[in-house]
Structure 1
Amino acid sequence: MDFHCHLDLYPDAREVYCEAARRNAFTWLVTTSPKAFAATSRVLEPLPSVLITPGLHPEIAHERAAELELLLEQIAGVKAVGEVGLDGSPRFKAHYDVQRKIFGAVIARSAELGGRTLSIHSRRAVRDILAEFERHPNFGTAVMHWFSGSKAELKAAAEHGCWFSIGPAMFESVNGRALAAVMPRDRVVPESDGPFAKIAGKPVMPWSTCRTAAGLAPLWGISPEEAAAALARNGQALRCLMDRS
């Protein structure tokens, strides 16, 4: 399974898409803009094991702000949303107000529609994201993608009921391993974040769950097989939540 992947942005995207559908029981294809969602949904053949969702990535929020109304329309017809969120890093801080307007509207719309499952980008913005959850407690379920905040922020996110999607690239950093070690073990699911996430210069592929399990195993003090089983159980539980959205 893969709960956060940009399948449409790989070189040879159609081939990777079909291979992911063949190998994975479930792949969540997150898009970066409403127009990208429309195009991807039109170009890629619908497959039962691949979920394609609309999003508006915070890194391009200032460039695609005019697409917000389209995104809010699209959310009504789907059970999940992503990639959305906030990015408070120096490179994107100048556009933070635009990001907050968009993210706030997405959370409010999700709550208005009875809840959605969201794949959320939260780099240097965890507190503001949790504040939006508090303003709209019926927004649904948050899956924090490649979480990189502090341990205190991780604890706060877990207390808000957040899930966490992690992939092999997360284990490349000391901080990533430290965070993965203390995540709630019943709310961690696998992701690739390919093709953006890379190991040794090569994109992580959507069928990388075994590598994620191998990275988690020593951190959790269990075998890779036990870690893989935990990820599978968690993935099934999250999919059930998504189906109820």
Structure 2
Amino acid sequence: MDFHCHLDLYPGAREVHREAAHRNEFTWLVTTSPKAFAATSRALPAAPSVLISPGLHPEIAHERAAELGMLLEQMASVKAVGEVGLDGSPRFRPHYEVQRRIFRAVVARSAELGGRTLSIHSRRAVRDVLADLDAHRGYGTAVLHWFSGSNLELKAAKELGCWFSIGPAMFESASGRTLSAAMPHDRVVPESDGPFAQMGGRPVMPWSAPETAQRLSEVWNLPVGAVADLLANNGANLRRTMGV
């Protein structure tokens, strides 16, 4: 399983898509813009195990703000949305108000539609992400992708009922290992974040869940098999919530 993957952006995307559809029980292909969602939906063949969702990545929100209306329309016919969110890092902070306007609109639209599952980017912006979610309690389910906030922010996210998608590259940093160790065992699912996430100079592939289980077993102090079973059960539970 892979709950956050930019499958359309890998070199040789068609072949990677074909392999993921064959190897994975489920792959969530998140897109970076509404136009990218439309193009990817046309370019890649439909596969029952691959979910393609519309999104508007905060790193390009200022460039694609005019596509917000398209995204809100697309959301009516999908069960999941991503990648969306906020990025408060120095490079993107100048466009933060545009990001915030877009994310608030997405969360409000999710509530209006009866709830959606959101794959959320929250780098240096966890407090505002959680505030916007809390303001629209009917938004559905939040999956915080590659969470990198503080321990206090992690605690707040857990209390709000958020899920967490993590991949093997997250364990490359001490902070990533510490945060992973503190995540609720019943609300963690695997992701790759490929091809952006890399290890050893190569993109993490969509079938990296066994490696995530291995790394989690070390910080959770549990047998690898037990962690693999937990991730499988969690994935099944989240998919039932998503309706896919």
**Could you state the TM-score of these two structures normalised by the residue count of structure 1?**
0.99
Structure 1, gaps ≥5 residues long: none
- Say whether residues 1:233 and 2:233 are aligned partners: yes
Paired residue for 2:214? 214
Paired residue for 2:100? 100
Percentage of identical aligned residues? 73
What's the Cα RMSD here?
0.6
Alignment of 1:14-163 (within 5 A): 14-163=14-163
Distance 2:223 2:198 in 1: 25
Distance 1:129 1:120 in 2: 8
Q: Partner amino acid for 2:130?
A: L
Distance 2:211 2:198 in 1: 13
Partner of 1:157: helix, strand, or coil? helix
Q: CA deviation at 1:224?
A: 1.0
- Say whether residues 1:9 and 2:18 are aligned partners: no
Distance 1:228 1:202 in 2: 24
Partner of 2:147: helix, strand, or coil? coil
Deviations 1:8-48, CA, capped at 9 Å, x for gaps: 00000000000000000000000000000000001111110
Partner of 2:41: helix, strand, or coil? helix
Q: CA deviation at 1:225?
A: 1.0
Q: CA deviation at 1:133?
A: 1.1
Paired residue for 1:187? 187
Partner of 2:242: helix, strand, or coil? helix
The structure 1 segments of at least 4 consecutive aligned residues displaced by more than 3 Å after TM superposition are none
Q: CA deviation at 1:168?
A: 0.3
Partner of 2:114: helix, strand, or coil? coil
Distance 1:224 1:201 in 2: 25
Paired residue for 1:202? 202
Q: CA deviation at 1:238?
A: 0.2
Q: CA deviation at 1:134?
A: 1.5
* Number of residue pairs matched by the alignment: 244
Partner of 1:114: helix, strand, or coil? coil
Partner of 1:124: helix, strand, or coil? coil
Deviations 1:36-90, CA, capped at 9 Å, x for gaps: 0000001111110000000000000000000000000000000000000000000
Q: Partner amino acid for 1:118?
A: L
**Could you state the TM-score of these two structures normalised by the residue count of structure 2?**
0.99
Distance 2:70 2:96 in 1: 20
Paired residue for 1:243? 243
Deviations 1:79-102, CA, capped at 9 Å, x for gaps: 000000000000000000000000
Distance 2:190 2:218 in 1: 16
Q: Partner amino acid for 1:133?
A: L
Distance 2:108 2:83 in 1: 16
Partner of 1:76: helix, strand, or coil? helix
Distance 1:157 1:167 in 2: 18
